[in-house]
Chains A and B, each alone.
Chain A
Amino acid sequence: MKRALALNRHLVQRIGFTGITLMAVFTVIPIVAVVIYILVQGGPAISGEFITGFPHDGMRAGGILPAIVGTLYLTLGTAVFSVPLGIAAAIYLSEYAADTPLTRTIRIAIINLAGIPSVVYGLFGLGLFVLFLKFGTSILAASLTLSIMTLPVIISTAEESLRSVPQGFRTVSISLGATRWQTIRRIVLKEALPGIITGVILGLERAAGETAPILFTGAAFFLPRLPHSPFDATMALPYHLFVISTQVPEMPIKIQYGTALVLLVFVLTMNLVATAIRSRARAKRQW
């Protein structure tokens, strides 16, 4: 009886482990499949002209240069606002803030910013930047909207990275006569840099792939030229993919997959760079 029970336990374990493993496998396979499928289907569309040319024939032929350049501009524009602000906020939370109700409010605010639906950011950007501040549908308005959206990612990863710098580093620096800011700038920030860069890239990766926040704040359906100033609207890869896969009838499938591929490569490269920086820093870390 006891023996049967024991056997039973191990059988249950085996069934349980198999089930859980299968679940993990079924979670991972589609991810790999998506990437491979788009690489295979989109590969043939990639050519010099596709990357460096303008779309023509109602976007059914030619290249996607304006969308690529637009996404670059938006990503850089987002970085200009969100990187300094995000890192400064992380420094505040990690190095200055005491555990007060105010600090807790800041944390709750950051958690909420992370949870707000992307399309609500779009509404907010339309209300504040496009209409109230009269920036119009522009790279500026879209970048500002995207940077507020990416702030929580940057703040939380940067803070985590700053906090992982051992307290002893700060104590030694201060005891040698450095001021608090000197300690932060020369010691803490230097040590935490790889983690911060990882957070920044992950945040910007999100910004580069988002569509909903730029729908009403800066995205253009079609532009025959590249944007000249931050006050111009711009094409962008994610929005372009949305447009050509739902709004343009008789769109050649090859161009759709090609656009998806370029967007995917853009985003995946950022992801890989971020992951590589993080794991290299972890391997090199001596404390």
Chain B
Amino acid sequence: MEKSLNWREFIITRLIKASGYSAILFVALIFIFLVREGVPTFVEVDFKSLTNIRWYPIEDYFGILPLITGSLIVTIGATLVAVPFGIGTAVYISEIAPRWMREVLKPLVELLGGLPSVVLGFLGILVISPYVRVFLDLPTGLTALTGSLLLGGIAVPTVVSVAEDALDAVPRAYREGAWALGATRWQTIWRVTLPAAKSGVLTGVMLGIGRAIGETMTVMMVTGNAPVLALKLGSLFSPVRTMTATIAAEMGEVANGSTHYHVLFFIGMVLFLISLGVNVAASSMVFRAKKRAERILS
């Protein structure tokens, strides 16, 4: 009896440990498979062609610059939307709203995070893009701007939840100290609470940007899918094509093992590395902030 219990416990403990390590295994597997299918690109396409400004795979033009600039412009636009609204909402929820309002707002923002991106893309096509076209008097409403607006909305919940946590974690004594010195609530928020939560808020912004770069279905549906180099501000009002949308739109039609197939995996590899960079930077920022807080408080 005693013995069998020990055995079971031993096996279960091993299984639990193995599951714990599985996250590392999966990240490694994802990277290995992206590299395995993506690296042949360097053999099949010369570097000059890869950094060209033409993406036209049917005629073997694999310039990924238009796709990178497309992703960039849409992401920058989304950031401009998500940062003020995300941080504003976080400040409102954490510092200004009465308690009942918080209880309503938090689940609502979470709900936005849970809306399928395909539903937002669908509404983008039918509702938002006609407005964009008419208001700005453009030939088409499927532009980088339309994508930016929707992506901004998609990134907002990430910014709000991380930034709100950070604001919540600022010790109450900080605020009380400021009030005692005669600061208004607004001055306290602006000069004490927000600076104290700076690293957490920045982490939220970075994770939001990460979310925006990686978003696929919405941008594929509403940005018009034209792989054109987007360098000027005016590009915001014309169709573009992002890296994610390119993979999603073209992977279904390529022959496995073809050059086009390898280039698409290569783009996936680039996206993986970008998200890796964003996340490592964001988590190291939190880690450093924690260290600093420990130093100050000890």
Contacts and interface: CB of A to CB of B under 8 A. Distances in A.
Interface residues of B, number: 88
Nearest to A147: B26
A181 B12 contact: yes
Interface stretch (B55-63, B133-141, B233-241, B271-279): B271-279
Interface in B104-152: 105, 107-112, 114-123, 125-127
Interface size class of A (residues with CB under 8 A): 35 or more
Interface in A73-112: 84-85, 88-89, 91-93, 96-97, 105-112
Contact of A246 (B21, B185, B221): B221
B16 A91 contact: yes
Contacts, number: 261
A218 to B, nearest CB: 12
Contact of B30 (A91, A116, A206, A264): A116
A19 B283 CA distance: 31
A113 to B, nearest CB: 6
Nearest to B97: A24
Contact of B184 (A9, A112, A119, A127): A9
A199 interface: no
Interface stretch (B39-47, B82-90, B173-181, B288-296): B82-90
A206 B92 CA distance: 27
Q: Is the interface of B mostly helix, strand, loop or mixed?
A: helix
Interface in A1-42: 9-10, 12-13, 16-17, 19-21, 23-24, 26-28, 30-32, 34-35, 37-38
Interface in B24-70: 24, 26-27, 29-30, 33-34, 36-37
A260 B120 CA distance: 10
30 contacts: A13-B186, A20-B91, A23-B88, A26-B85, A27-B109, A28-B105, A30-B153, A89-B16, A93-B20, A108-B283, A112-B280, A115-B214, A119-B216, A119-B247, A120-B214, A122-B247, A123-B247, A123-B251, A124-B30, A127-B33, A148-B30, A151-B26, A206-B114, A209-B114, A245-B122, A245-B126, A246-B221, A264-B115, A264-B119, A267-B116
